[in-house]
């Protein structure tokens, strides 16, 4: 099992507050004295000048991290929604292709039906012509009963 890479945002959170550092001295015997002196002297400057700057910077850092956290959360949400949309799009594309194939089949079927209809129309016209021809022949062969008496 591999450990996941550290989250850069967590790393940033760990560094958000600036810390004042204590003074140390490596000089033997009088080292603590020197450190104490520096600390006292530094207290004068830090108290009135550096500490407010640190506090201001800390506030800025906290705000930045909060903002970044919100943006990262937003981005993660977008990414997950994109994945859902992508899956949906893929599904739609498959359905669209099914739909296209279905329409193409219908189009072919319609053409086939139109052709059959045309064939039947041609046959019907031929039958009609044939019937007309038969009627004309019959009319020539057999005078309509009573036609003579009506005419005379």
Partner 1 sequence: MSQRLRIAYFSPLPPARTGIADYSRELLPCLARLTDITLFVDESADVSEAISGEFPVHRTHAYARMRWGFDIALYQMGNSSYHGAMYDALRHYPGLTVLHDYGLHHFISDQTIAQNRFAAYVREMGYALGPAGIELACQVRDGQRQLPFFEAPLNDRLLQLSLGVLVHSDYVRQQLLAQKVPCPVEIVAAPIASYPAVSRRAQLDWPADAVIFGSFGQVWREKQIEAALRAFARVREVAPQARYLIVGDWAAGGCDLPALIAESGIADFVYCTGQVPDLADFVSWIATADVVVNLRAPTVGETSATALRALVGSRSLIVYDHGWYAELPDEICLKVAPLDDEALLAAMLKLGTDAALRNTMGQRGREYATQVHAPQRAAQVYVDFIQRILANLSPGHPDVPS
For partner 1, the closer CB: 79 or 122: 122
Q: E strand or H helix at 22, and its extent? A: none
Are the beta carbons of 22 and 32 closer than 8 angstroms?
Answer: no
Q: Mark 73-102 with x for binding to partner 1 (rule: CB under 8 A) and - for no binding.
A: ------------------------x--xx-
Which residue in this structure is represented by tokens 């279905």? 102
- For partner 1 (CB under 8 A), the number of binding residues is 23
Closest distance between partner 1 and the C-beta of residue 12, in Å? Answer: 44
Closest distance between partner 1 and the C-beta of residue 102, in Å? Answer: 11
Query: In whole angstroms, what is the distance from residue 123 CA to residue 125 CA?
Result: 5
For partner 1, the closer CB: 62 or 97: 97
Interface with partner 1, residue 109, by CB under 8 A: no
Which residue in this structure is represented by tokens 């599904």? 91
**In terms of Cα–Cα distance, which of 135, 136, 8 is closest to 71?**
8
- For residues 26-51, one letter each, b for 16 or more C-beta atoms within 10 angstroms of the residue's C-beta and e for the rest, the string is eeeeeeeeebeeeeeeeeeeeeeeee
Closest distance between partner 1 and the C-beta of residue 137, in Å? Answer: 11
Q: Under the rule (CB under 8 A), what is the footprint of partner 1? A: 97, 100-101, 103-104, 107-108, 111-112, 114-115, 118-119, 121-123, 125-130, 133
């Amino acid at each position: 099992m591999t450990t996941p890479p550290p989250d850069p945002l967590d790393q940033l959170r760990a560094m958000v507050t600036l810390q004042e550092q204590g003074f140390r001295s490596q000089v033997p015997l009088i080292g603590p004295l020197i450190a104490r002196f520096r600390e006292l002297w530094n207290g004068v400057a830090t108290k009135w000048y550096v500490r407010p700057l640190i506090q201001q910077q800390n506030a800025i850092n906290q705000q930045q991290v909060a903002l970044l956290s919100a943006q990262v959360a937003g981005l993660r949400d977008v990414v997950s929604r994109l994945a859902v949309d992508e899956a949906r799009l893929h599904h739609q594309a498959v359905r669209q292709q099914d739909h296209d194939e279905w329409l193409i089949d219908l189009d072919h079927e319609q053409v086939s039906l139109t052709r059959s209809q045309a064939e039947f129309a041609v046959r019907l016209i031929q039958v009609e012509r044939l019937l007309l021809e038969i009627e004309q022949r019959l009319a020539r062969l057999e005078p309509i009963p009573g036609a003579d008496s009506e005419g005379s």
